[in-house]
Amino acid sequence: MNTSPAFAATLLRISLGVMYLAHGLLKLIVFTPEGTAGFFSSLGLPGFLGPLTMGIEISGGIALILGVYARFVAVALIPVLLGAVVLVHGANGWSFGNQGGGWEYPVFLIAASIVQFLLGDGVYALKSRAAQPVAA
């Protein structure tokens, strides 16, 4: 059994990437760009931020899965999650199973994204920008 932090970082990177990609594709395929724009408008935000967020989630998810500057992509995606907490899920309580979804899931993903940044890109990354952290 390999317990290398580099393999752990890879597993986290791919898991986060799949999650972001799935959320972006949900907005694209199920809610549609127009529906996503309408939802963002209903929050008092400019409608164009909906499809922009969708594009950020899709491209960020792909970058994480492939390992393209993954440490920095993980951190760059945190504002999307903060927006979800503040504007959508925060008032719904802790549990994501609550009506409208609570804030536990996006806050956990923020923590996981920070851990990804701290661990580095892991193995099998296509393009790393910074040196990997030294294992203790």
47: left (phi over 0), alpha (psi -120 to 50) or beta: alpha
Neighbours of 44 (CB within 10 A): 7
Judge whether 84 lies within some domain.
yes
Judge whether 133 lies within some domain.
no
Residue 129 has pLDDT above 80, yes or no: no
Judge whether 95 lies within some domain.
yes
Judge whether 124 lies within some domain.
no
Domain that holds residue 53: 5-119
- Predicted confidence band at 97 (pLDDT cuts at 50, 70, 90)? confident
Angle made by CA atoms 73, 16, 87, in degrees to the nearest 5: 80
**Alpha-carbon torsion 67, 68, 70, 74, what sign?**
negative
Burial per residue of 107-126, b for 16 or more beta-carbon CB atoms within 10 angstroms, e otherwise: bebbebbeebbebbbbbebe
- The rounded percent of the chain whose pLDDT value lies above 90 is 73
**What is the rounded end-to-end Cα distance, in angstroms, of the chain?**
19
Judge whether 126 lies within some domain.
no
Summarize pLDDT for 24-77 with one digit per residue, the tens: 999 999 999 999 999 999 999 999 999 999 999 999 999 999 999 999 999 999
In the block, residue with structure tokens 């597993």: 11
pLDDT at 135: 52
Judge whether 131 lies within some domain.
no
- Predicted confidence band at 2 (pLDDT cuts at 50, 70, 90)? low
Region 79-104: mean pLDDT is 88
Judge whether 125 lies within some domain.
no
Judge whether 130 lies within some domain.
no
How many domains would you assign to the chain? 1
Chain-wide mean pLDDT for the chain?
Answer: 90
- Predicted confidence band at 94 (pLDDT cuts at 50, 70, 90)? confident
Cα-based torsion angle of the residue sequence 87, 93, 97, 100 in order, rounded to the nearest 10 degrees? -40
